[in-house]
Amino acid sequence: MQVFETQTMEEMFEGLKISPAYKKYSEHNPVMIQRYGADPYALVYEGRVYLYMTGDDPVFDEKGDAKENTYSNINTINVVSSEDLVNWTDHGTIYAASVTGAAKWGANSWAPAAAYKNIDGKDKFFLYFANNGNGIAVLTADSPVGPFTDPINGPLISRETPNCAEVTWLFDPAVLMDDDGNAYLYVGGGVPSPEKASNPGTARVVKLGEDMISLDGDPLPIENVAYLFEDSGINKIGDKYYYSYCSNFSMTPEAEKERGFEQGEIITLVSDSPMGPFEHFSPVLKNPEVFFGLGGNNHHCMFEFKDQWYITYHSRILEKEKGYLGGYRSTNIDVLEIKDNAPAVSKGTKTGVKQVSYLNPYDEVSAVTMSNSSGIDTVQYGEEAIKCGSGDMVVTGISDGSWISVTGADFGNSDPFEISLKYKSRGTGAVRVSLDSPEGDVLAYIPIEDTDNEIEDTFVALEKRPGGVHDIFFTFVGKDYDLITWRFIK
């Protein structure tokens, strides 16, 4: 156990200015603060929800003002996961496209969709994404966080694919794993011309091959998708199939009244078959502008987790809080109401969803598992993650007053007496561990020494022994050190 003077640690934090929070401590949206993530898609696997997101990356001019997001520089996919929908583990940034990515033939990686399938006795993971508006790529991995590789070294769907050359925007994939083991891919969007705005005819569906990286037949049009804009979604609820999409921005007030939905809203269609025919069903989520005052494209994914349905979507609330507007999106999750075994309605909120299980503070917790943070960054850790972009991550970019937190840690009736912090350092500093806020009851002060970037696992006695359920905050002074894991010891 390391010995230090408590008073010295306390003095290091006196008068410390806490880095501002971009969401309230009680808010769960957006799910990720340390970077942007758009077009979210959810994969549920072994008791965790994995979110895959377009890697929005702000570009600034010489004055430091954010340029408008053109999406042209996006070639990565962010991935995070959670078992409680509140504390999210950062798994990094998948290098998906361009010369630095897995799909070197493609320029961009937009709007990912993910699935897994047991093939030859082993679970395999598949990540589909759009090469801008001109085709669909597929990557594979043995883990939901990668490393991902390109198994076909080219597009799965391109403009040479039958029935796809005329699709205005050949993008925004969604994938359905049906109960019988068959899989289907849904793509498309865009309005070919103003006179076709009410029925663009640009949605497609195709059955995937058994290997999930080939097509079993030609893509077919999905008929009568009223005022289609983009953003395919697909879900099976009960014995019905629900195709969902974002309506376009050519709707007149008269059309909105006639059709019963608004422009930029998420709409569902229903069918008895995964390939249709589909019929109009119901709107489920209005444009984020309705809830947050800033709009844009509306991109979603509906998913079920622990017997509750949710909808994940993006908004612009993070960039608004940061004080610049360039169309950079961040991911939210809210409850999706189900009525009569069908998707009904959802409401966008900053509060987000309730925590579905408590975090165990006696497990070794990755430091990049966070419900909130400010003034920090995360970076790949280890040869594999550095090469591929996703995998193990550490908290870095630490400075005076920066912090991270987890929500709902259950100490139970145990009597923890120590905390272990695993870190590596090129500088010095300290970490204050507190309950429920950065200035809350202090559990421990942990000194950070220069380890020449070697890993140090330090153990510090607790000043206060917590019980029950609490949020835990880690507040930092100093710089040039990275946090790897932490755990309480009882």
Per the prediction, the chain carries an average pLDDT of 96
Q: Quote the pLDDT of residue 65.
A: 83
Distance CA 313, CA 42 (A): 10
The token pair that represents 14 in the structure block? 């006196």
- Compute how many other C-beta atoms are within 10 angstroms of the C-beta atom of residue 59: 13
Question: Could you tell me where the DSSP H helices lie in 316-443?
Answer: 317-322, 383-388
Q: Quote the pLDDT of residue 3.
A: 45
The token pair that represents 124 in the structure block? 């395999």
Q: Quote the pLDDT of residue 2.
A: 46
Annotation marks residue 334 as catalytic: no
pLDDT band at 1 (very low <50, low <70, confident <90, very high): very low
- pLDDT (tens digit, 9 = 90+) per residue, 376-412? 999 999 999 999 999 999 999 999 999 999 999 999 9
Domains of the chain: 6-18+358-489 (2.60.120.260), 38-346 (2.115.10.20)
Residue 5 in this model has a pLDDT that exceeds 80: no
Q: Say what the pTM is.
A: 0.97
Question: Helix, strand, coil shares of the chain as percentages rounded to 5?
Answer: 5, 45, 50
CB 199 within 8 A of CB 259: no
Of these residues, 39, 83, 231, 482, which one is catalytic?
A: 39
- pLDDT (tens digit, 9 = 90+) per residue, 127-172? 999 999 999 999 999 999 999 999 999 999 999 999 999 999 999 9
Beta-strand ranges (E) seen in 275-362 are 279-285, 300-305, 308-315, 330-339, 342-346
Which residue from 429, 420, 432 is spatially nearest to 449, judged by alpha carbons?
A: 429
CB 186 within 8 A of CB 203: yes
Of these residues, 56, 83, 230, 262, which one is catalytic?
A: 230
Annotation marks residue 83 as catalytic: no
For the chain, give the percent of residues with pLDDT over 90.
Answer: 93
pLDDT band at 281 (very low <50, low <70, confident <90, very high): very high
